[in-house]
Structure formats: C-alpha cells, structure tokens
Amino acid sequence: MSSPEYLVFGQPLIARDEIDEVVDSMQKAWLGTGPKAAAFEKSIAAYKTNPGEAAPFAVGLNSCTAGLHLSCLALDLQPGDEVITTAMTFCATVNAIIHAGATPVLADVDPSTFNIDPADVRRKITPKTKALLPVHFAGRPCDMDALMAIAKEHNLHVIEDCAHAIETLYKGRAAGTFGDCGALSFYSTKNIVTGEGGMVITKDEAIAARIKMLALHGMSLDAWKRFSDDGYKHYDVAEVGFKYNMMDLQAAIGLRQMEKIGAYLERRLVVWNRYQEAFADLPIGLPAPLEDTLSTGSRHALHLYTVLIDPARTGGITRDALLLHLHRLGIGTGVHYRAIPTHSAYKKRFGWDAAAWPVAHRIGEQTVSLPLSAKLTDADIDRVISGVKGLIK
C-alpha cells in the first residue's frame, strides 16, 4: 500500500466553481481591481451586518496585514502613541502597529481562551495609550464588553484583528463591528481564502474612503474609474499611499468561497467535536468547550484547533516531539504562536523578556494546532487522531 499523501496544514478546499470564476476573470481580461472586488466587498459587508443595523463599509485589500496597517493610519495614530495588543498573536499584528509609527504594548492573555486579558489591558494603560488592538484568537470572540468599556473610559480607538474571525459573533454581533475597524484575512489557510487577501470593515464612511485611497497610492478616489465612459480624468495624489488593493482574480475565489461559508463552518465543527471526544482522556490541554460562547449568542469561528503539550503531564513528551512525530506520519501541523516577545526583532527593539507575559509564554512553548479545514476527509481525521494517540497515551 502506498503511504497516504502529506496532509498540508490548513490547505483550503478549492472546487470547480472557484476555478471557473477565476477563469472567467482571465477570459474577460479583468485581472486587477474591478467588479468582482466590489462584489466581494458587498458580500462580506452583508455577512458582517448586525441585525437591525446598516451594513458596514468594506474595503478589499491584498492582506489583513495591510488592513491593520491602514486602520492604524486612518485613525491617525502618531509616533509615540501606544497601542495595546496581545502577546499571543501573529507577528503581523505587531508589525502593522510599528509600521504605522506607533508603539506596541503587549498585554498577557487568558489561559483558557488565549484571548487578550482585559485586566492586564487595564494595567498597561498609560497617558500615551491611544488604541486597543485585540485579536479574536482561533475565532473565539474576545471579551468585547470589557474591552469596549475600557476603550470608552480612556477614549481609545479599537481595531479588531479578525484574521481568524470571519464567522465570529459576540453576543449576537459580528466580530469587527465593535471597534472603529475590523481587519479580515483571506490568506490561504484562513476560513475563507483568496490566496492572499484582506478587508477592512468599518461603520465610518470617511475612514473607509481614507483606507481605500491609501490602498491605491493615495490617489484621489475617482482615480479608480479614471478610464470611465466620460473620458480620461486626471488624478491627484492626496496622500503618500501604498499598493494594497485587492485584485479581481483574488475576489473571484472569495466570492465563490462565501457561498460555502456556512457549510465549511459546519464541517469544521464535525472535525472539532471528533478531536474533543477522541482526546478527552489524554493528558493534554484541550480548547475550552464551545458552550462558553454558544450560550451567550456568540459563535466561535473554529479557525484553529490547538492543544497544549505540557511535558510535566505527558511523561516528558514535548510539543516539538509531537510536531516531529506527526510530520513523520505525513501530517502537517502549525504553531500559533510562539509568544511575540520571544522573537529577536522585538527583543532587540523593545528589550522585551517573554517571562513578563507568563501565560502567553507558556502557551507559546506548549501549543500545537492540528489540521482543521473543510478539506479534511473522515479518513484524514482518523489519521490525525491515531497519530496523536500513537505518541501520547
């Protein structure tokens, strides 16, 4: 028997309809920003509309990183301003703050949700604090009541990193609609993919317009249609911008993906429940039950399924040993994440010592993400489960 194919971590499910939609863009020779990017923005805005409220404005971009960066700029963060974010996130969250000229300040996380701890946020507030940048980790909503109360009290902007949180609800409201801006990712491993891609949603039309302009060199907005039927229009460069716009080729994939967002989430729930049941008796740390979120009208987007491997409980087996063991069995895993202050660039720049964020540091040493994608077959799930159980009993 030939060995099964390598299970690539986070590989998306791409079907005929996505392929056809991309081919359609190519046949029309409209590759860059155009009607499909606009339709995809509309689709996300509709999906992120809260009951009884108007749809947010949505601006398609080439990444969530770009979205976080432009959100910081559009909110006029200045050099010296402090932005409190989480020590347990992807480097892009922190890089965006730094590239906007502001200073990241890290708060530690809650040990059961891995989300930013509002009590530590309070401890980190100084007169220079201008914004909070929470991340809905793995798709589990942050404690937005607590965070928005802090923001109100101290007059802070809020940017939500929704890279994991397209489907996330907090008490019936969509993640990304609590703060000034929410930044979504459609990177290849995320819940909805466009290859590379991102989007900012915001209730503020002026912020949306500024982000849209900054995403295309800072050219005045009618530059988007400068080859319209009315003839050629000169554009004005109103700000020194960036090249962050979303292509129709990307949006073509996303448009078809959005039609399946509910089905994908259901499938990931099946995978999630199989893992929770299979690993219940193992000496490893499992994700907190979903009931926490479901009972309050909230929804976990089920982006990552993370377990904690504590050698003190596993008889000396480390996280890295499990990673290697699964790799040898042809199963790709992820580490989300080593804590931000463990990385050399930040240590050098800010003098951070990871020990100052004990919860994030411990999670960073022990965490491993198992495959969780709509693409997984039942046989794939069995393979992952028996792989884990082959090492840890």
Contact positions vs ligand PLP (CB under 6 A): 63-65, 89-90, 92-93, 135, 161, 163-164, 185, 187, 198
- For ligand PLP, which is the closer residue by CB, 364 or 387? 364
How distant, in Å, are the alpha carbons of 21, 265, 288 from that of 273?
33, 12, 12
Buried b (16+ CB within 10 A) or exposed e, 189-199: bbbbbbbbbbb
Active site residue 190: yes
First and final C-alpha spacing in the chain: 27
Question: Shortest Cβ distance from residue 60 to ligand PLP (Å)?
Answer: 12
∠ CA 366-370-371, nearest 5°, is 160
Three-state SS at 134? coil
What single DSSP character describes residue 321?
H
Rounded-to-integer distance, Cα 269 and Cα 119, Å: 31
- For ligand PLP, which is the closer residue by CB, 163 or 216? 163
- For ligand PLP, which is the closer residue by CB, 92 or 131? 92
Question: Shortest Cβ distance from residue 182 to ligand PLP (Å)?
Answer: 12
How distant, in Å, are the alpha carbons of 100, 243, 338 from that of 350?
16, 29, 17
Question: Shortest Cβ distance from residue 93 to ligand PLP (Å)?
Answer: 5
- For ligand PLP, which is the closer residue by CB, 90 or 224? 90
Token pair, residue 342, equals 């463990």
Question: Shortest Cβ distance from residue 90 to ligand PLP (Å)?
Answer: 4
What single DSSP character describes residue 241?
-
Question: Shortest Cβ distance from residue 352 to ligand PLP (Å)?
Answer: 19
Rounded-to-integer distance, Cα 177 and Cα 372, Å: 26
CB of 308 closer than 8 Å to CB of 365: no
Residue 108: other Cβ atoms inside 10 A: 23
Question: Shortest Cβ distance from residue 255 to ligand PLP (Å)?
Answer: 17
Candidate list 36, 190, 203, 212, residue with the active-site label? 190
Rounded-to-integer distance, Cα 260 and Cα 238, Å: 39
- For ligand PLP, which is the closer residue by CB, 202 or 314? 202
Residue 377: other Cβ atoms inside 10 A: 9
Q: Which residues are catalytic?
A: 190
